Amino acid sequence: MREIHTEFMNLALEEAKKAGQKAEVPIGAVLVAESGDILSRSHNQTISLGDPTAHAEILTLRDAAQKVLNYRLLSTTLYVTIEPCIMCMGAIVHARVARVVFGAHDPKWGAAGSLYNFADDPRLNHRPEIMHGICKDACRTLIQDFFRAKRSS
């Protein structure tokens, strides 16, 4: 099972690299149906779209919902390189995504266990399963290198 998670996380990493090439924070996401089919994939585009909500997760959810003509993305798994933020976890809960698999934790913004834990809040009507640590080193290195380069320029 870990092999399939690694395969999809590598696709999310490809998306994250696309963001980094555009000087966007390098985060990528891939949404996979229960059948294993990829419904959507994207990367951060907040700067290029001039949209503070254009996180990889949000763009991926929007695209998939339009493809399936339903805002409820039941029985899906979202792969994302970095732990989703509050906004993204809110959208994930609303979309009823079954599982979130992320690479590296985000202690400053993370809402899937680091800063907040939306998936464990019994007050919410949906709580996705959370898995983390898939391709953790590659995900962490990509974002750390991006910010290191940004600070030195």
Distance from C-alpha of 43 to C-alpha of 103, rounded to nearest angstrom: 14
Catalytic residue positions? 57
3-state secondary structure of 65: helix
The phi and psi torsions of 101 (rounded to 5 degrees) equal -120, 120
Question: Which of 90, 89, 35, 31 is CA-nearest to residue 65?
Answer: 31
**Alpha-carbon dihedral of residues 102, 108, 114, 120, nearest 10 degrees?**
-90
The answer to whether 132 and 106 have CB atoms below 8 angstroms apart is no
Single-letter residue type at 36: G
